[in-house]
Structure 1
Amino acid sequence: MRIDFAPLNTPLRRRLQTAAVLQFVFSFLALAPICILLFFYLLFTRFWLISVLYATWWFFDYDTPSRGGHKLPFLCGLKVWEYMRDYFPIQLVKTADLDPRSNYVLGFHPHGVLVAGAFTNFCSYATGFTRLYPGIQSYLLMLPLWFRAPFFRDYIMCAGLIPSDKVSASYPLSQRSGGNAVVVAVGGAPEALDAHPGTYNVVLAKKKGFVKMAMEHGAHLVPVFSFGENELFDQVENSRGTWLRRTQEWLQSVMGVALPLFHARGIFQYSFGLMPYRKPISTVVGRPIKVERKEKPTAEELDALHQVYMDELSGLFEAHKGSYGVDKDTHLNFV
């Protein structure tokens, strides 16, 4: 196998971009288990008091993730996220205003492997979310599992991540003052297994929980499609029905997280590794779908609004696909 190394005279700017993405990939894949190991390791060293004090803090702070977390503007505005934005690059595309007097549920599609577009656009200020949507505070939902990791839970809450369980997701939407946007990667872990370059499979046909949540709180629905999200990695062929896909789906049902076998480039070479390719991501935020509050929507009302949402997402994709290199004969595939 021929290895294509990066040139030695690579500009410092590009090296900083690579370093920024490296820390993101490291945080996504390895930081949580390292934090857990560190917590228990310190208990058996002379620094045991650190873990004891943290456990005390954790006890009193246990409910914070379900109450909106503690997003820190300073962390969201760090220069490192601008370097990460420029690595791909990533842009946020606005198509309509969001009234800060209302709350919103933003459905993010597709999930991709590492949800890089969702994190950069909605957890950092690098692509101008606060400028494009003044008065709106965004919260990105993440599997509750990660909020059980000591130290790591605090780090991700500082970036505006909150658990994806119903109680936590509903908290920002229950604030009558408005101005809150909960971002849901609707396809979740199963959709990550479909994240192959050139594919546009959206796990949505039976996903209605986020629509019901929006109806219960009277939060307007906003479809979001992130062009390029599936182009960042190659993935081992795992078509539905194959033994690998069945194994991955079984592990996902047991562990709650998807295990896509992905690969792309390395840090100092372009031939193999877990660093994403430098492929552009354009996250297009659609127009809001007005939702009337109904605490106990009927199945028919839920189905009707879900269909409206799918139609709006499909329309958003069709209206913008030509601008981002998608063939005119390509359409969304709802699964």
Structure 2
Amino acid sequence: MKIAFAPLNTPLHRRLQTAAVLQWVFSFLALAPTCILLFFYLLFTRFWLVSVLYAVWWFFDYDTPSRGGRKLPYLCGLKVWEYMRDYFPIKLVKTADLNPKHNYILGFHPHGVLVAGAFTNFCSFATGFTHLYPGIKSYLLMLPLWFRAPFFRDYIMFAGLIPSDKESASYPLSQRGGGNAVVIAVGGAPEALDAHPGTYNVLLAKKKGFIKMAMEHGAHLVPVFSFGENEVFDQVENPRGTWLRWTQERLQSIMGISLPLFHARGIFQYSFGLMPYRKPISTVVGRPIKVEKKEKPTTEELDALHQLYMDELSDLFEEHKGNYGVNKDTHLNFV
């Protein structure tokens, strides 16, 4: 295979963009195990007190992730996220206002491989979320597993991430006064296995937990579609029914995380590696669906709102697909 190397005269700003995305990919794939190893390694060095004191802190701070976390505006506003935004580039598209007197659940579709659009738009200030939606504070849900890693848990909380279990997700929605938006990648880890370029499969047909949560708290629903999310990585073909897909789904059911065999480009060459391609991601935030609070919705009410949400998501996709290079004959496939 002929390797296409990056030119030596690559401008500095593009190198900084690559470095920003590199640290993000490393954080997503390897920072948690690195922090765990560091925690135990320090116990056997003269810096053992660091791990001991952190363990004490962790004990008293254990419930913070399920109580809204600890979002740090300074971290969310760092220049590094602007470089990451410009690498692809990523943009946030507003279609309607969100009244800060209400709480919201934003359903993010599709998950993609590493949810680049969701993180950049809703965990950083790089694409202008706080200016487009004044008075709204966003919380992106992440697998609870990652909040069990020492040091790493604090880093992701600073970025506005909270666990995706029901208790943690419900906390911001239960706060009076409104202004909270919980962002859920509805398809979750399983949907990452369908994240192939040119595909528009949305794992939603049987996903009703977030709909029920919205009804229980009276939180308005907002469909979000991220055009280009599936284009930034290639993935080994894994059609349903193949031994690879069966293995991936089996591991996902055991570990709680999916293992898509993805690849794209490298740091200094464009032929192979785990760095995403420089392809645009446009995250379109739809109109809010008004939801009346009902602590014990009936099955019929739940199904009706779920169908309405799917219809609104489909309409959002159809309305904007032409702006982002999607063929007019292409439609969402609800799985």
TM-score by length of 1: 1.00
Deviation at 1:147, TM superposition (A): 0.1
The amino acid of 2:96's aligned partner reads A
Which amino acid is 1:133 matched to? Y
Partner of 2:136: 136
> Could you say which residue in structure 1 is the equivalent of 2:163?
163
Q: Which residue of 2 aligns with 1:252?
A: 252
- Rounded to whole Å, the distance in 2 between the matches of 1:109 and 1:226 is 6
Looking at structure 1, the residues matched to 299 and 43 of structure 2 have their Cα atoms a distance apart, in angstroms, of 51
Where 2:169 maps in the other structure, the secondary structure is helix
Q: Deviations over 1:91-140 (max 9, x none)?
A: 00000000000000000000000000000000000000000000000000
Query: 2:109 aligns to what?
Result: 109
Look up the equivalent residue of 2:231 and give its one-letter code: E
Structure 2 residue matching 1:229: 3-state secondary structure: coil
Structure-2 residue corresponding to 1:10: 10
CA offsets, 1:14-66, max 9 Å, x none? 00000000000000000000000110111111110000000000000000000
Distance in 2 between the 1:3 and 1:207 partners?
A: 43
Paired with 1:145 and 1:188, the residues of 2 have a C-alpha distance of 14
Distance in 2 (CA, whole Å) between partners of 1:77 and 1:162 is 18
Q: Which amino acid aligns with 1:173?
A: L
Please list the CA deviations of residues 274-298 of structure 1 after superposition, one character each: whole Å capped at 9, or x if unmatched.
Answer: 0000000000000000000000111
Amino acid at match of 1:85: R
Query: Aligned residue for 1:271?
Result: 271
Partner secondary structure for residue 230 of structure 2: helix
Q: Helix, strand or coil: the match of 1:231?
A: coil
Residue pairs, 1:1-335, within 5 angstroms:
1-335=1-335
Partners of 1:41 and 1:316 in 2: how far apart? 50
* Amino acid of the structure 2 residue aligned with 1:296: K
SS in 1 for 2:71: coil
Query: CA–CA distance in 2 between the matches of 1:138 and 1:150?
Result: 24
**1: CA distance between counterparts of 2:314 and 2:79?**
35
SS of 2:92's equivalent in the other structure is strand
SS in 1 for 2:328: coil
SS at match of 2:224: strand
Q: Deviations over 1:236-265 (max 9, x none)?
A: 000011000000000000000000000000
Distance, in Å, in 2 between the alignment partners of 1:75 and 1:189 is: 26
**How far off is 1:176 after superposition?**
1.0
**Aligned-partner residue type, residue 233 of structure 1:** F
What amino acid is the match of 1:60?
F
| Counterparts of 2:179 and 2:224, CA distance in 1 | 18
Looking at structure 2, the residues matched to 135 and 241 of structure 1 have their Cα atoms a distance apart, in angstroms, of 46
SS at match of 2:215: helix
Q: Distance in 1 between matches of 2:233 and 2:148?
A: 28
Structure 2: segments with no counterpart, 5+ residues: none
By how many angstroms is 1:326 displaced?
Answer: 0.1
| Distance in 1 between residues matched to 2:151 and 2:294, nearest whole Å | 38
The secondary structure found in structure 2 opposite 1:230 is coil
Aligned partner letter, 2:52: V
Letter in 2 for 1:163: P
Equivalenced residues, count: 335
1:76 maps to a residue whose letter is C
CA distance in 1 between partners of 2:72 and 2:47 (Å): 28
d(CA) in 1 for partners of 2:36 and 2:306? 39
- Give the partner amino acid of 1:201: N
Q: 2:15 aligns to what SS in structure 1?
A: helix
**Following TM superposition, by how much is the alpha carbon of 1:67 offset from its aligned partner in structure 2, in angstroms?**
0.4
What secondary structure sits across from 2:30 in the alignment? helix
Rounded Cα–Cα distance in structure 1 between residues aligned with 2:301 and 2:149: 39
What one-letter code is carried by the residue in structure 1 that aligns with 2:289?
A: I
% identical aligned pairs: 89
Residue 178 of structure 1: SS of its match in structure 2?
Answer: coil
Q: Could you state the TM-score of these two structures normalised by the residue count of structure 2?
A: 1.00
Q: CA RMSD in A?
A: 0.3
Partners in 2 of 1:298 and 1:35 — Cα distance? 45
Q: CA deviation at 1:215?
A: 0.3
